[in-house]
Amino acid sequence: MTLDPRDFGSLEQRLGERLRHLPDVRAPRRLLPSVMAATAAARALPWHSRPWLTWPVGLQVLSIVIVAATATAAWSVWPEASAIGAVQQARQASSAVRVLWDVLIGPIAMFVLALTVIVSLACAAAWTAVRHVALGGASHR
């Protein structure tokens, strides 16, 4: 079959016109009762078991206020969370990371990197082989 560009436009227009004027598809009669049953079951759940979006507006606002107040309180009460404490923690963490790198990771870093690259390439090759050989004909009904 060859794709003739001259056919492309006219067929597109004719088919588009027909498809646009197809009669509406009717939903099955059982769709409405099943949706309403599912929503009734959801309504029967206590408010705290439902998705947050379905909570009453007052409770949504209250929950936001409580979370914000808790976060603020935790920030102000926890002394190490101050700016100075954070800088000191960052220095300690960077020292620990440097020691770990020098003693444990540094000596084997190149080996680990090479191994990672080799394993990744092997996985890609295996996936390509599976796709071409085993799953090649699985897409057409």
List contacts with another protein (CB under 8 A): 1, 3, 8, 11-12, 14-16, 18-20, 22-28, 30-32, 34-36, 38-40, 42-43, 51, 53-54, 57, 131-132, 135-141
Cβ proximity to another protein: between 110 and 138 the closer is 138
At closest approach, how far in Å is the CB of 60 from another protein?
10
At closest approach, how far in Å is the CB of 95 from another protein?
45
At closest approach, how far in Å is the CB of 63 from another protein?
16
Cβ proximity to another protein: between 86 and 129 the closer is 129
CA distances from 46 to 27, 39, 101 (A): 31, 13, 52
Cβ proximity to another protein: between 11 and 73 the closer is 11
> From CA 57, how far away is CA 61, in angstroms rounded?
6
Instruction: Judge whether 42 and 54 are in contact, CB under 8 Å.
Output: yes
Instruction: Judge whether 56 and 65 are in contact, CB under 8 Å.
Output: no
Identify the residue whose tokens are 């379905």.
54
At closest approach, how far in Å is the CB of 7 from another protein?
8
Q: Is 95 left (phi over 0), alpha (psi -120 to 50) or beta?
A: alpha
At closest approach, how far in Å is the CB of 127 from another protein?
11
Cβ proximity to another protein: between 14 and 98 the closer is 14
Cβ proximity to another protein: between 43 and 91 the closer is 43
